Amino acid sequence: EPEVTQTPSHQVTQMGQEVILRCVPISNHLYFYWYRQILGQKVEFLVSFYNNEISEKSEIFDDQFSVERPDGSNFTLKIRSTKLEDSAMYFCASSVSRALETQYFGPGTRLLVL
C-alpha cells in the first residue's frame, strides 16, 4: 500500500542552524501538508501546498519556514534559523485532491533543537 515517507526520522541540531526535513508524498497525490506536534500536545497545521505554491499557512509558519517541491517526488520543509521552541515532531501529509479528501500522514521527523 502506498505511503508517505519522511527523512530523517530524527534530527538533532544546534539553535540557529538550518534544517531541511524531507517528505515523499504518495505518488498520485497533489496536495501536500506539514503539521507539527510539540511533545504531549495536539497536532498543529503549518502549511499546505499545491501546484508549486503555498495554498494556506498558519500563524506558526513565519519567515523562518519555507517549503519547496524541488523535483517530482520530494516535498521539503526548511527551517532557516532554528529555535528551541521548534523542537517537535514534524509530520508531512498528502491527499489526492483539494481539501475534502483524507490526508495521509507520514511517520514524522522528530526534531530536537539544543
Partner 1 sequence: ELKVEQNPLFLSMQEGKNYTIYCNYSTTSDRLYWYRQDPGKSLESLFVLLSNGAVKQEGRLMASLDTKARLSTLHITAAVHDLSATYFCAVQGGSEKLVFGKGTKLTVNP
Contact 109, 89 (CB under 8 A): yes
CA-based end-to-end distance of the chain: 37
Rounded least distance, CB 97 to partner 1, Å: 10
Q: What angle do CA 35, 104, 76 make, to 5 degrees?
A: 50
By beta-carbon proximity to partner 1, the closer residue of 5 and 76 is 5
Q: Which is nearer to partner 1, 80 or 105 (CB)?
A: 105
Nearer to partner 1 by Cβ, of 9 and 15: the residue is: 9
Q: Which residues bind to partner 1, rule: CB under 8 A?
A: 31, 33, 35, 41-45, 48, 55-56, 58, 91, 98-100, 102-108
For the bound state, the minimum distance from the C-beta of residue 10 to partner 1, rounded and expressed in Å, comes to 10
Question: What residues have CB less than 8 Å from 14, skipping those under 6 apart?
Answer: 82, 113, 114
